[in-house]
Amino acid sequence: MWTTEEGRERVMKPDGAQLIAAERQRQVDVEGWTVEHDDDHDDHELVWAAIAYAKKACIASYLPLNDWPWDDEDWNPAPLPYRNLVKAGALIAAEIDRLQRAVKGPADIIGRWPGDESDEEVDDALEKLS
């Protein structure tokens, strides 16, 4: 919470990363899309679904005739564009997690694997986060 110049209290809106994390948790808790479920989608389905929601956020009339990887009744766009972006972000987060689980061996915080080239800009950004 924060206080305006007039002394009124305001609730801080969550940022995009927080909204995506909350949506991902909702997908697990409410929809039942668990880690095990996600691991079964090894043909880029999570990415295609994310693309469809992102397109819907930009094009109100968009219908995912060829992009949507699942049954038509599973297509559930929100009326607000930002909400579709949140869904897309959560699906991308699920795909990133799935890909990291699929690779054997340890990865660092940004998903680099042993032998990957170092990226100085990314290393600097990570240092600022810690």
pLDDT tens for each residue of 49-85:
999 999 999 999 999 888 899 999 999 999 999 999 9
Does 5 have pLDDT greater than 80? no
Q: Which helix (H) or strand (E) holds 2?
A: strand 2-3
Give the 3-state secondary structure of 41-102: CCCCHHHHHHHHHHHHHHCCCCCCCCCCCCCHHHCCCCCCHHHHHHHHHHHHHHHHHHHHHH
For residue 85, the model assigns a pLDDT of 98
> Beta-carbon neighbour count of residue 83 at 10 Å?
16
Question: Is residue 95 within 8 Å of 50, Cβ to Cβ?
Answer: yes
Q: How buried is 37 (Cβ within 10 angstroms: 0-12 exposed, 13-18 middle, 19+ buried)?
A: middle
Arithmetic mean of pLDDT, 96-110: 73
Task: Examine the pLDDT at 128 and tell me if it is beyond 90.
Answer: no
